[in-house]
Amino acid sequence: AHGDRRIDPYFWLRQRANPEVIAYLDDENAYADSVMAGTRPLQERIYREITSRIKQSDTSAPSFFKGYWHYTRTVEGLNYEIHCRRRRSMDAPEEVELDGNALADGHEYFELGYVERSPDENMLAYAIDFSGKELHELRFRDLGTGEDVLGTPEEDDALVLQEDDERFELNVELTKSEKFVILSSTSQMTSECRYLRADKPHAEPVVIEPRRPGVEYSVDHQGDRFVILTNDGARNFRLVGAPFDTPGKDSWTEIVAERRGVRLNATDVHVNHVVLGQRSDGLQRLEVLDCRTGQLHVVEQPDQAYTAFAGSSPDYDTAVMRFFYTSLTAPWTALDYNMDTRERTVVKVQPVGGDYNRDDYVTDRVWATSHDGVKVPMSIVHRRGVPRDGSNPALLYGYGAYEMPSDPMFDAARLSLLDRGFVYAIAHVRGGGEMGREWYEDGKFLNKANTFRDFLACARELIAQGYTSPEHLAIRGRSAGGLLIGAVMNEAPELFACAVAQVPFVDALTTMLDSSLPLTVNEYEEWGDPNDVEFYEYMKTYSPYDNIRPANYPALLATGALNDPRVPYWEPAKWVAMLRTVAQAERPILLKTLMGSGHSGPSGRYESWREEAYITAFVLDQLEVLDSAAGQR
């Protein structure tokens, strides 16, 4: 491209139909397992630790709607959730709506996508994926008989709306009031919504505001108006109202103005209230707007660093909202919050086995100074009493893309690291959504290098403050976070002893030049279009596969998935091959490919826990952390 000649000796690994490619991946899996053979007892120990902390037969917090209590439950020994309901009382007989275990039977891979009930509670629509390729099959189930049903003949189907721009995807949803159907066309940076009155579904959809590049908005309904969350004239978003007959921008009236340092990112609309998901000071918070008085209040939380978001509150005509709360030390908690009285009721706390006591752990919030003077926050957790003498093993996690935050959340599996003396840190780097829209924009397109430099600044700050040292520091990232891991390994390999990159987007330039791949054109709005020479040359400076150099790289475990439609399996495969060829690594560089899965990893929960045990054992082994439980690695 652009007269620039790039030689790719491992391009042949893209030939998925070639038996030699499959054999190559099988051989790599066998090699990884042989290197890891000595850790098998440790893997088993960690797996048992993880399963002992998780209540394997459990029930979610139930929610009441349309005369039924709805909930999901899990059964020990089974991989998937069971969706259930009970009529009027939790003491009534259980009706199983959907059993993921029965659906998955006979399939190597299974993932349940959306599950939606019809307003009369008689039908269930659900989407399933049996390959990991995210090509979902949409099914409808008669909840009276429990049988899946076929609809009218395909030739009788009426086309409602077609989206021809491949950068956009089309979504359909019913407003909580059940008065309107909203059809949304959205790309990474632009949206266009239409509405239908729910009692006139065969009418022509009405455009609310025509698409304009860079303008995003989402629509809900309340009373005599639409409620719209938009970035039009407000980088960090504002809330506006619009009449049904003339819903376009010229008729918008402001409900909640844009505020400095406050990024509005979600709405949950009820008859008298709007719940706002907002991000300020790096934390995900909840605010409640009383639409009768115009009063706005924050839902206060007990921890300094936490994550809170609105959950399943399906009723429109209620003053009670369900929300979820967690932190690095607080297990997931479901609460009901009365938006008028501000009373809260704990509905369910995630049970944690193994004598977990959150007072045994300490959380810190530390700021690192990046290359350009910007302060980058880190969320840190470790056991109480951990010294600050540089001797601790540490794991630094990062993502930094798509305005997706890496929020502090509880993870029972992480305790296997913390209880072995680890410091665990999350680097809230630019490109993510932690600190508002500007934080995101400063880590994308031609600013992408800020993501990597922020992460390096965080690593150096951990070392400077005595949390760890380079020989004890591991790093981890996934997908776009894998690109981050690859980039910082190239830039400062001496800073880390070990790296884990799961389904890493490491051959970014090659992938973004291939418009035949399913997501490439859609991704131009995140990374830029390398058919433009400016973006081409910039991406070439950071794409991990293109920047490997002769150096002593950290130990690496890279994972891929054969059916991954987002990051093709060949990206980690080519990357590992090139690292072994070019880098002067003295430590193991391993590739582990899931041969029957997609981007989200193993489909069953038990296989996911086994994968986590494998990764944890790799990190412990490479950092030479003795297992205190057994006095061995």
Whether residue 585 has pLDDT greater than 90: no
Residue 474 CA to residue 497 CA, distance in Å, equals 6
> Between 1.20.1630.10, 3.40.1410.10, 3.40.50.1820, 3.30.70.100, what CATH number should domain 355-600 receive?
3.40.50.1820
Tell me how far apart the alpha carbons of residues 327 and 63 are, in angstroms, rounded to a whole number: 23
Assign 370 to helix, strand or coil.
Answer: coil
Domain ranges of the chain: 56-157, 355-600
Measuring CA to CA, which residue among 174, 207, 169 is closest to residue 186? Answer: 169
For residue 440, give the H/E element and its range: helix 437-441
**Is 355 one of the catalytic residues?**
no
Sign of CA dihedral 593, 596, 601, 607: negative
Helical ranges in 243-354 per DSSP H: none
The residue annotated as part of the active site, out of 599, 600, 621, 627, is 599
Q: What pLDDT, on the 0 to 100 scale, is given for residue 584?
A: 86
**pLDDT band at residue 371 using 50, 70 and 90 as cut-offs:** very high
**Type and span of the H or E element at 174:** strand 169-174
**pLDDT of 188 above 90:** yes
pLDDT band for position 628 (50/70/90)? low
User: How far is residue 627's CA from residue 630's CA, in Å, rounded to a whole number?
Assistant: 6
Q: Which of 129, 336, 411, 564 is catalytic?
A: 564
Lowest model confidence (mean pLDDT) among 147-151, 172-176, 364-368: 147-151
The predicted-structure confidence for 46-83, as pLDDT tens digits, reads as follows: 999 999 999 999 999 999 999 999 999 999 999 999 99
Give the model's pLDDT for residue 633: 42
DSSP secondary structure, 347-366, as one string = EEE--B-SS--GGGEEEEEE
The pLDDT of residue 626 is 76
406 has pLDDT over 70: yes
564 belongs to the catalytic site: yes
* 8 A C-beta contact, residue 423 and residue 388: no
pLDDT category of residue 631 using cuts at 50, 70 and 90: very low
Rg of the chain taking only CA atoms, in angstroms: 25
How far apart are alpha carbons 603 and 138 in whole angstroms? 18
pLDDT at 629 over 70: no
Task: Sheet with 206-207: list strands edge to edge.
Answer: 169-174, 180-186, 191-197, 206-207
pLDDT (average), residues 343-372: 96
The pLDDT of 240-247, averaged and rounded, is: 98
- CA angle at residue 326 from 312 to 298, to 5 degrees? 70
From the list 479, 597, 600, 603, the catalytic residue is: 479
pLDDT of residue 303: 83
Consecutive H or E run containing 460:
helix 449-464
Q: Give me the percent of the chain exceeding a pLDDT of 70.
A: 99
For tokens 């729910």, the residue is 198
Give the mean model confidence (pLDDT) for residues 205-213. Answer: 98
pLDDT tens digits for range 461-514? 999 999 999 999 999 999 999 999 999 999 999 999 999 999 999 999 999 999
**Which of residues 474 and 313 earns the better pLDDT score?**
474
**Distance between CA atoms of 92 and 68, rounded to whole angstroms?**
10
Do 214 and 190 touch, CB atoms closer than 8 A?
A: yes
Q: Residue 364 and residue 367: Cα distance in Å, rounded?
A: 10
pLDDT at 630 over 90: no
Eight-state DSSP code of residue 567: S
**Cα 95 to Cα 14, 82, 99, 120, 150, distances in angstroms:** 47, 10, 11, 16, 22
Q: If you average pLDDT over residues 287-315, what whole number do you get?
A: 92
Residue 171 vs residues 45, 218, 575: alpha-carbon distances, Å: 44, 11, 35
Average pLDDT over every residue of 524-528: 97
Rounded to 10 degrees, the C-alpha dihedral 20/21/27/30 comes to -140
Does 419 have pLDDT greater than 90? Answer: yes
Compute the distance between CA of residue 347 and CA of residue 49 in angstroms, rounded to an integer.
27
In the numeric block, the tokens 């680097």 are attached to 427
pLDDT at 84 over 90: yes
Q: Catalytic annotation on 91?
A: no
For residue range 440-467, what is the model confidence (pLDDT) as tens digits? Answer: 999 999 999 999 999 999 999 999 999 9
Of 94, 91, 92, 84, which is closest to residue 63 (Cα–Cα)? 84
Task: Please check whether residue 629 is in contact with residue 595, taking contact to mean a CB–CB distance below 8 angstroms.
Answer: no
What pLDDT, on a 0 to 100 scale, did the predictor assign at position 91? Answer: 98
Answer whether 195's CB lies under 8 Å from 173's CB: no
